[in-house]
Amino acid sequence: MLIFSPLEFKARTLIAEDIREREFRKACRYLRDIDESQRLVVEKLTRVIVDRILHNPLSNLRKASENGDAELPRVACILFSKAEGGEN
């Protein structure tokens, strides 16, 4: 029984990708004089960081969901929900 659907997992990664993209663009504005190859290195770096940060938590959520554990996904939803009036 899946408690946390694949769609919910995808939504979590899309939120992280939106944050990564926004921060990447901000960094590029600060680093005005970088060339295309340097920009690609910074972009790759941001992608790798996000992927590595999310890998274990999302793997554990998938396992918990597959095993019918409703508590871990419930807590994760609380932890990763957008704060009222805040920005992720």
The pLDDT tens digits of the residues spanning 16-59 come to 889 999 999 999 999 989 999 999 999 999 999 998 988 888 88
Q: Which domain holds residue 69?
A: 6-80
Give a yes or no: residue 85 inside a domain: no
Give a yes or no: residue 35 inside a domain: yes
Give the relative orientation of helices 6-30 and 71-80 as an angle to the nearest 10 degrees.
30
Number of independent structural domains in the chain: 1
Give a yes or no: residue 18 inside a domain: yes
Predicted confidence at residue 27, as pLDDT, reads: 93
Give a yes or no: residue 21 inside a domain: yes
Average pLDDT of span 62-71 = 83
pTM above 0.75, yes or no: no
**What's the pLDDT band for 73 if we cut at 50, 70, 90?**
confident
Give a yes or no: residue 72 inside a domain: yes
Give a yes or no: residue 67 inside a domain: yes
Give a yes or no: residue 57 inside a domain: yes
**Who wins on pLDDT, 29 or 69?**
29
Predicted confidence at residue 54, as pLDDT, reads: 85
Name the nearest CA neighbour of 9 among 68, 77, 70: 77
Give a yes or no: residue 88 inside a domain: no
Contacts of 66 (CB under 8 A, 6+ apart): 2
